[in-house]
Amino acid sequence: MSDIEDISLEAAAPVVPVVEIGHGGSNRSPRDHSDQDYDSEFESDEDDDTHSPQSTSRERRRVRNVKTVNGRVAVDMTPPDDKLRDAQNRAKKYSRLKKADKAIKEYVTCTALARIVYGNNHWKFAASHVDLAEAYLDLKGYAIQAEFHSDSAKDIMLHGVHTSSSHKEKADIYHVLIRVYYIMGKALTIILTYNEAEQALTKADRISQERSKLDCVTDDECDEIDIKLYLAMARLSSKQKKYAVASAHYDKVLELMEIRYGRDSLLLIPVYHDYGRLEQSKGRHGNHEKIIELFLQAHSIAGANHKTGSVELVDTALALAQAYASTGREEAEASAESYLNECQANCTAVHGPHHTKTLEVNDEIARLLIRTDRQDEAMTILKSSINPKSEVFGDYSEQVSDTYKMMASVHLSQGNIEKALRSYKKCHTIETLVLGKNHRKTKDTLRTMELLMASPGVSSKFVLNKEDELQKRPRFTSVVSRATPLGANKPQ
């Protein structure tokens, strides 16, 4: 433990949630429940996350191993270590099924039971906090909660006295420490605390190297940990704009994953995409050949593992088409169009014409047609996408305003200033309602409209807002002409 002895932390008692068991409120006798009823909540994978108030209160009253003596409910005498084991199994099961709320509820229960079984300063109690932190981060994306619970686990590990009776237990203690700093580093990266995230991941790497020296630790275990750590470091370096460091980490991750899982593993696809986006973030300094190579590799893996028309093939083909389009070369536009047409056919077959992914692909095709001076074809696609977008996203949505803005740019390129102004005005109205008049996109649209209004003969036909319209009205006069003098038709 020499790697962590130099860290001094302010002692803080870990916060442990209190698990309450509801009771009362029902007229049903415990005899009305069968043993199967008590376990059915966790045996079925098809149960829903939403329950009626009556069923929710009834489930709170369910207790395992309920016994009745002379009509009275006996106290559940199940040992807490057995309850902890059962709760851990349920938590892992719900995590695999991606039932986030239920999994987190069980992990909270595990934390409370682990404190009862092992005490406040045991490394297994810290491990329960790490499990809860990981569930918050991976299942819900709650970085602040993950950072809080991983910090609680760190306090337990650094302030407790942990004795190991074997190399296996020592390796387990090291593994908990690695997970503490790894999850903390990922959470701090998300909440933009980069320096502390880098320190946490560095500590995790140092402890991992120390753990790898133990005889009971296998090479596969070391590779698994190294892949996670290098990937977290690569994403952190990417956010810090340390491009060279991030590229080196991504290369290392790909090397380890190809050895561990094979060159055609689906696990490689998100890494290739992350690496490609890193290169794209460099702008004009990015290596376009490398970007295309990375996305092409991801697409080939998806093609080898999925059937034609699958969602995964759509995502990889779309990313590859955007990579070709970003090169700015005319010869690459043909490849981009080919992959976009493939995406459109797959999306329409799998999702239908009104799905968000299909509409996204249509927008990419329209942009490509505009770049290749096929404005009429682009306008046809854009006009046909207005109604589907209104149905999917709403009449007043950013997606609809962006479509009007693209239509305006097409009209402008064709010299139709009046049509361009009408489209820009619709776009500006929606942006003002959705984003606000002080948003950057709203201001840019208004500035473009003002420039177009300066064209001769245009300002007299269009008004930007109500104030301008009121100013163009004739002045109001209080003198009203009368057809007949006062009193002319006055009865005698």
Same domain for 305 and 365, yes or no, is: yes
Residue 167 lies in a domain: no
The model's pTM is 0.71
pLDDT digits (tens, 9 = 90+) for 81-91: 899 999 999 99
pLDDT of residue 43: 40
pLDDT at 458: 66
Looking up tokens 């799998």 gives 350
318 lies in some domain: yes
Q: Are 318 and 346 in contact (CB under 8 A)?
A: no
Model pLDDT, residue 178:
95
What are the pLDDT digits (tens) for 291-337?
A: 889 999 998 898 888 777 677 788 888 888 888 887 767 778 888 88
Q: Is residue 398 in some structural domain?
A: yes
User: Contact 204/178 with Cβ under 8 angstroms?
Assistant: yes
Which residue, 410, 354, 341, 413, is CA-closest to 382? 410
Contact 413, 375 (CB under 8 A): yes
Phi-psi region of 146 (alpha: psi -120 to 50; beta: other; left: phi over 0): alpha
Is 31 a residue whose pLDDT tops 50?
no
Instruction: Give yes or no: residues 394 and 460 share one domain.
Output: yes
> 298 burial class (0-12, 13-18, 19+ CB within 10 angstroms)?
buried
Query: Does residue 417 register a pLDDT over 80?
Result: yes
Q: Is the pLDDT of residue 173 over 70?
A: yes
Name, of 298-302, 344-348, 455-459, 463-467, the range with top average pLDDT. Answer: 298-302
Give the lowest-confidence range in 263-272, 327-336, 425-434, 472-481: 472-481
What's the pLDDT at 186? 95
Same domain, 364 and 312: yes
CA end-to-end span of the chain, whole Å?
A: 118
- For residues 490 and 300, the model is more confident at 300
How many angstroms separate the CA atoms of 487 and 418, rounded?
A: 53
pLDDT at 117: 93
Is 60 exceeded by the pLDDT of residue 121? Answer: yes
Same-domain pairing of 386 and 452:
yes
With bands split at pLDDT 50, 70 and 90, how would you rate the model's confidence at 461?
A: low
Model pLDDT, residue 175? 94
For the stretch 35-76, pLDDT in tens is 333 333 334 444 444 444 444 444 444 445 555 556 677 777
Give the residue from 347, 372, 397 where a domain finishes: 372
Residues 345 and 384 in one domain: no
Would you state the pLDDT for residue 37?
39
Note whether 342 and 406 are same-domain residues: no
395 domain-assigned: yes
Instruction: Enter the tokens of residue 384.
Output: 């046909």
pLDDT of 116 above 90: yes
Residue 386 belongs to domain with CATH number: 1.25.40.10
Residue 45 within any structural domain of the chain: no
Domain residues for 345? 290-372
Give the chain's mean pLDDT: 80
Confidence grade of residue 78 (pLDDT, cut at 50, 70, 90): confident
417 lies in the same domain as 401 = yes
- Flag whether pLDDT at 210 surpasses 60: yes
Kindly state whether residue 410 falls inside one of the protein's structural domains.
yes
Give the pLDDT band of residue 346 (cuts 50, 70, 90). confident
Residue 489: band (very low, low, confident or very high) from pLDDT cuts 50, 70, 90? low
pLDDT at 487: 55
pLDDT given for residue 14 in this prediction: 37
Is 358 in the same domain as 430? no
pLDDT in tens, 224-243: 999 999 999 999 999 999 99
Would you call 72 helix, strand, or coil by DSSP?
strand
Phi (first) and psi of residue 72, to 5 degrees: -105, 145
Per-residue pLDDT at 26 exceeds 70: no
| Same-domain status, 399 and 367 | no
Cα 477 to Cα 472: distance, rounded to the nearest angstrom: 15
Least confident of 61-65, 183-187, 246-250, 453-457: 61-65
pLDDT at 34 over 50: no
Confirm whether 327 is domain-assigned: yes
Which pLDDT belongs to residue 340? 87
**The pair of three-digit structure tokens given for residue 160, joined into one six-digit string:** 């407790």
Task: Output 32 or 321, whichever has higher pLDDT.
Answer: 321
Domain count for the chain, please give it.
Answer: 2
- Where residue 209 falls among pLDDT bands split at 50, 70, 90? very high
pLDDT at 270: 92
368 and 379 part of one domain: no
Please check whether residues 311 and 352 belong to one and the same domain. yes
| Greatest Cα pair distance in the chain | 126
| pLDDT score, position 66 | 55
Cα–Cα separations (whole angstroms), residue 368 to 277, 281, 372, 404, 453: 20, 20, 6, 17, 29
- The whole-number pLDDT of residue 476 equals 53
Question: Does residue 366 sit in the same domain as residue 379?
Answer: no
In a domain, 68, yes or no: no
Q: Which of 14-23, 220-229, 468-477 has the lowest mean pLDDT?
A: 14-23
Does pLDDT of 364 surpass 80? yes
Q: What pLDDT shows up at residue 7?
A: 36
